[in-house]
Structure 1
Amino acid sequence: MTATPPASGRSSQAADAAQPVRKKGYAQLRDYAVIGDGRCAALIARDGSVDWLAWPDLDSPSLFAAVLDPVRGGRFLLQPDVPYTASRRYLPGTNVLETTFTTGHGTVRLTDALTLPDATSLAPGRELVRGIEGLAGSVPMRWSVQPRFSYGTRAPHLTHRAGVPVATFGPDAVAVCAWNAGQPQLTGNAVASGFRSEAGTQAVIALAYAHQEPLVLPTRTECEARLDHTTATWRQWCADRTYTGPWREAVMRSALALKLLVFAPSGAVAAAATTSLPEEVGGERNWDYRFSWIRDSAFTLDAFLQLGCAPEATSYFWWLMHASQLTHPRLNVLYRLNGGTRAPEQVLPLSGYRGSAPVRLGNAAAGQLQLDTYGELLQTAWLHATAGHRLDADIARRLAQTADFICTTWQQPDAGIWEVRSTLQHFTQSKMMCWITLDRALDLAARHLIPDRHAPRWRRERQAIADFVDTCCFSPHRNSYVRSADSDDMDAGVLLGLLHGYLPPNDPRMHATVAAIQQTLQDGPYVARYLGADGVPGGEGAFLACSFWLVEALARCGRTDQAVSLMDQLVALANDVGLYSEEIDPTTGDFLGNLPQGLSHLALISAACAIGEATR
């Protein structure tokens, strides 16, 4: 039986107040919001606790990791010291979070941001600013900064500099600056205090960070000015976006969430801001997603172009070209945000979210063969070039060599888009994307954008791939493309090959495949990734991106009414501030997997735009 979807996420209007609940120290994943500055990101629970923050970069070791271990992980707690309810929103058009605490003694508003530097003052290397405003009454507040460096494995050395508490470990230093928020006390391995928030008063607590550089101690005026500057900068960025359809609020929130995953120093886009949040509570499907996956590249570039994010699209494309050059002609499945290729998998000594172990650092999928990535690369280059951007001679040559590589490689089995850790197979979606590789290469060559000397071979191999897919990967029993050659298992990943153009939208096989996926993998708004084993024990929830891919496929097939209905249901599955994780438990509605999940938000944007194109 399908669960009733949770209330719709509302990113610019505070949702109904609720009393935050933790079980054995863990908040629900649905209760997290994210803030960021283009270099790092923090997860903040509904109860005001910063439970995840990695400094100085998105993929750095964590300073706070209570989401993975409430005892050893560390956190920054800030909340009323009396019973309360909490409602939240993002300030409209921003990634600045506002939480309103309501108590029997009065009301307090908390504003959180990882601030963006401005040109008016010397800023710390990284800065978290928390503003506390008394709205009514007199509310006792308590706060505690519990830094635990290096994924909770290193307790801080606490001291004072110029009267300000500072936590240090090796080359890292964090200052705890507080104004009108009580006198900070060094207690054990924490900096803590309490105060009363009176109506009309304002307090500020800021964390200032330095890594192998002098620690800047900001003033209150500078912190408040950067908070205002950060709010204004986000609003300007959001105002420049071009989507105007019926799901604008959800699309804009997805765009803002995606922007938090863009690593500004390089232009790379991380798959998620976290590591090891489980696909099954208590299970071992816990992966580090703080890398940039080639499989997401076409959706990423297309979303940037659809939303009018030209600088982000250009930066991401050139990062992708640079990173892939390091391993050419082979592609890594994923790359580090700085373009590096090493991602050895390690296990961290943390208990894991609600006992979901192991907690992993790195990702062993980096060394897999996933043939679909080559199609994603050529599709991305094709989108970039057909949007009017240049391909220089070296990139054009490498793209042609990638097509040559696929001509000699497409017949191999691979790990597929879902990164199976069992026997390699001839996955249908992988073969479809090999076809896309050669099809896009032929189109670019016809446009005289890449060398065409091997075009006849590309054409022959493209036909050979199509013959294999249509003969071996289409099941007469299912009347559908299936997961792999000579199988009857269903796989929603096949939708990606169709969405990228393996078949035209009016082809009967595309319509039949969409119908078969609805029949076998869909349950209400939820769509499972596949039926079949993948070599990893345990189960998982419904994969949100698959649901949005189904929306897009329905729209392209002309079934707009069904697409709109499913889209409305999926928009309602966001949490109270409009964010999505990787998966949802269809029975409880609980979030599963890392968050915010870039692919979920990318697929939402793509689905909304596809419906817009279909209705036009």
Structure 2
Amino acid sequence: MPQPLPEHCVTTSPQQTCGATRDADGYLPIEEYGALGDGRGIALSGSDGSIDWWCVPNMDSPPLFDRLLSADEGGRFEITPDIPHTVTRRYREGSNVLETVFTTETGRATLVESLNSNTAGRLPWAELARRIEGVEGRVAFTIDLRFSRQADTINPYLSRRGRHDIFHAGHVLGLFLRTDNVRIDRMDDTGIAATVTINTGERATLAIVAGEDEPLIVPPIADIDARIDRSDKEWRDWSSLLHHDGAWRPELIRSALALKLLLYSPTGAIAAAATSSLPEKIGGPKNWDYRYAWIRDAGYTIKAFLRIGAWGEAKAALTWLLKRLGEGQPQVCYTLDGKEVPPPAEVDVPGYRNSKPVVMGNLAGDQHQHGIYGDIFETVGRFVACGNIIDSQSAETLSHLADECADRWRLKDAGIWELEEPQHYTMSKISCWQALQRAIELVDEGQMPSTCRDRWERERTRIADWIGEHCWSEKRGAYLMYPGADQIDASIALAVRFKFDGQDRLARTLDAIDKELGRGAFHYRYTGAAKEEGCFLACTFWLVEARALLGQHDRAEATFTAAMTALDARGVGTYAEMIDPDTHAFLGNTPQGLTHLAIIQAIATLTGREL
């Protein structure tokens, strides 16, 4: 009989499923991927033992593995039993090391996976390590290693140098390393086919070591194997220090670990998600590249980190954000190294479950969103409220930004949802109010120069008056998406956290959002979105937090419990951007930072932790 995993592997969201879960076109459900990371890149490992996405060396580099977007021809690193099997998957407790237990009629074995780090932090190379451990009986595995051709723009090839198997894939040079019990059956320019049989108590370790246009060290496979457990310890040491001892701690820790994966350690930038072009509706055209750093996402994530005591991550991300602002006109998003995001370019691959277009790059870099003002000042305000200090150069930058907000708030913008039609979006105006309110508070706390305080106060009052006059609909009992619209916008739930005036109107707006945008446990972004996308997971948790702040604790907790129960029934705790409210299949890019940080904020608010 199968034995339980050791205690250190327990998590709140185990999944047991048949190993043969790919659809007729060869794609796994998005929820069947777990994420591995090292502070620079993220790999997605499927429930069938196939790593189908990994951009090397960075999250926004071209993919080395891209089966996620091209089931037949895409790159992958697959380790799977050679006969029918069932699968149980869990992250190790407090860790981003993933364990998958394969059970066949002949035995059981565990696949342990990690993007390795070291005691001194991130390694100066990418190291993907996979260890197979024999638990009971005997299990034979097949191994299939192929590299992405990046829509036929590169032609990977393999070679041998001495005892080493070397691969070349565009600008990436790498090694395929393994223990002696892994037998190579075929190695050519199409990839590597291998086998290994594991008996009780035995193990085999396979690894890829890679870098981009740089010399490579060849670590002993024993050292790589040891770094799996060392990495696990580093994750557990980090997560054990997070400040939350109340209810739902395992769920909060799991989301914090997902956010930590998205923090790009060389600069402090925070990627919105690890993937590109996963569809918001299967077969639909809303497929975006989220491997960049949005000001909005960075701001929200910094606040989440501050709230749970992840001070180093919050400081690194805030420093990155303020440096970008000091370089000139703020942009909506940046590359992870702080440059302009390239415009979207279509990539000629089939796309996830044949959803096109597949794109690399993003149009958001050319947009203007008033929300960035509120996001920046709310983040700095929270940083200061935690007892920290803003430097004089940053204070000067923020002062200019507050002036810009006071000048521009009357203009139309693309809104929080980055829509093509500029409008006077209600949430954008609230964000401008928020920015000036936080700027005034920072002045009063001695963190910013007071020269323009009176002007900011006047404009803040004018914004509130304008919103009250133009954006409220007594007929609908809600703030509208923009003046004259007949649409409701779920993001207005955030106004409660921002302490925008008028709690009665906000409470009524929450009821309207639930009634019009709610579907089961989840919510759509705005009126009409159901036609073209799934429910946006962050919206549900924004509503949870808003109701809790308004004193509606029972309703908030009921919504949270229903949503987390549905999510915990899928996958291993790595959540995407959206969900199909009927099937609970995940949609959109994954892991999605907004989803995980919204969960953290909801839990912290429900348990009474200070904002």
TM-score by length of 2: 0.95
Q: Deviations over 1:91-149 (max 9, x none)?
A: 111100100000011111100000003469x9661111100111112222100110125
Q: Give distance in 2, aligned partners of 1:152 and 1:178.
A: 28
Q: Give distance in 2, aligned partners of 1:610 and 1:296.
A: 19
Corresponding letter in the other structure for 2:390: L
Contact map agreement 1:555 1:563 (CA 8 A) in 2: yes
Give the corresponding residue for 1:480. 478
Q: Give distance in 1, aligned partners of 2:269 and 2:506.
A: 33
Q: Deviations over 1:476-514 (max 9, x none)?
A: 10121110012231010111223212136xx21121111
Question: What is the RMSD of the two structures over their aligned residues, measured on CA atoms?
Answer: 2.0
The more displaced of 172-181 and 99-108 is 172-181
Aligned-pair distance for 1:197?
1.4
Q: Deviations over 1:123-180 (max 9, x none)?
A: 6611111001111122221001101254664231211122222111344212111112
Corresponding letter in the other structure for 2:581: P
Mapping of residues 198-597 of structure 1, within 5 Å: 198-327=199-328, 330-421=329-420, 423-503=421-501, 507-532=503-528, 539-574=532-567, 575-597=570-592
Mapping of residues 188-207 of structure 1, within 5 Å: 188-207=189-208
Give the corresponding residue for 1:609. 604
Corresponding letter in the other structure for 2:136: A
Aligned-pair distance for 1:42?
0.3
Aligned-pair distance for 1:212?
1.9
Q: Deviations over 1:3-50 (max 9, x none)?
A: xxxxxx973674334333111111111111100101100001100000
Contact map agreement 2:147 2:169 (CA 8 A) in 1: no
Aligned-pair distance for 1:385?
1.7
Contact map agreement 1:72 1:152 (CA 8 A) in 2: no
Contact map agreement 1:62 1:152 (CA 8 A) in 2: no
Mapping of residues 112-151 of structure 1, within 5 Å: 112-118=113-119, 125-150=125-150
Give the corresponding residue for 2:5. none
Q: Give distance in 1, aligned partners of 2:572 and 2:14.
A: 8
Q: Give distance in 2, aligned partners of 1:589 and 1:569.
A: 12
The more displaced of 445-454 and 569-578 is 569-578
The more displaced of 78-87 and 482-491 is 482-491
Corresponding letter in the other structure for 1:356: S
Q: Give distance in 2, aligned partners of 1:82 and 1:378.
A: 56
Corresponding letter in the other structure for 1:163: R
Task: Call closer, same or farther: CA 1:615–1:304 in 2, change over 3 Å.
Answer: closer
TM-score by length of 1: 0.94
Q: Deviations over 1:358-404 (max 9, x none)?
A: 11111001111111111111111111122222211111111111111
The total of aligned residue pairs comes to: 599
Give the corresponding residue for 1:5. none
Q: Give distance in 2, aligned partners of 1:90 and 1:61.
A: 27
Mapping of residues 26-175 of structure 1, within 5 Å: 26-118=27-119, 125-150=125-150, 153-175=153-175
Unaligned runs of 5+ in 2: 1-8
Aligned-pair distance for 1:188?
4.3
Indicate the SS of the match to 2:430: helix
Indicate the SS of the match to 1:137: strand
Indicate the SS of the match to 1:608: helix
Contact map agreement 1:36 1:42 (CA 8 A) in 2: yes
Q: Deviations over 1:192-212 (max 9, x none)?
A: 111211122110111111222
Contact map agreement 2:95 2:236 (CA 8 A) in 1: yes
Corresponding letter in the other structure for 2:582: T
Contact map agreement 2:496 2:549 (CA 8 A) in 1: no
The more displaced of 282-291 and 195-204 is 195-204
Corresponding letter in the other structure for 1:468: W
Q: Give distance in 2, aligned partners of 1:508 and 1:125.
A: 54
Contact map agreement 1:283 1:538 (CA 8 A) in 2: no
Q: Give distance in 2, aligned partners of 1:268 and 1:431.
A: 26
Q: Give distance in 1, aligned partners of 2:342 and 2:373.
A: 20
Q: Deviations over 1:551-591 (max 9, x none)?
A: 00110111101111111111123233112110000111110
Task: Call closer, same or farther: CA 1:176–1:599 in 2, change over 3 Å.
Answer: same
Indicate the SS of the match to 1:400: helix
Aligned-pair distance for 1:354?
0.5
Aligned-pair distance for 1:414?
0.8
The more displaced of 602-611 and 155-164 is 155-164
Q: Give distance in 2, aligned partners of 1:518 and 1:570.
A: 14
Give the corresponding residue for 1:19. 19
Q: Deviations over 1:195-246 (max 9, x none)?
A: 2111221101111112222222221211112112101111101111111121
Indicate the SS of the match to 2:258: helix
Task: Call closer, same or farther: CA 1:151–1:439 in 2, change over 3 Å.
Answer: farther
Task: Call closer, same or farther: CA 1:384–1:206 in 2, change over 3 Å.
Answer: same
Corresponding letter in the other structure for 2:371: D
Q: Give distance in 2, aligned partners of 1:604 and 1:209.
A: 34
The more displaced of 170-179 and 352-361 is 170-179
Corresponding letter in the other structure for 2:59: L
Corresponding letter in the other structure for 2:382: L
Q: Give distance in 2, aligned partners of 1:436 and 1:508.
A: 18
Give the corresponding residue for 1:4. none
Contact map agreement 1:370 1:415 (CA 8 A) in 2: yes
Indicate the SS of the match to 2:608: helix
Corresponding letter in the other structure for 1:30: E
Q: Give distance in 2, aligned partners of 1:308 and 1:119.
A: 21
Aligned-pair distance for 1:189?
1.0
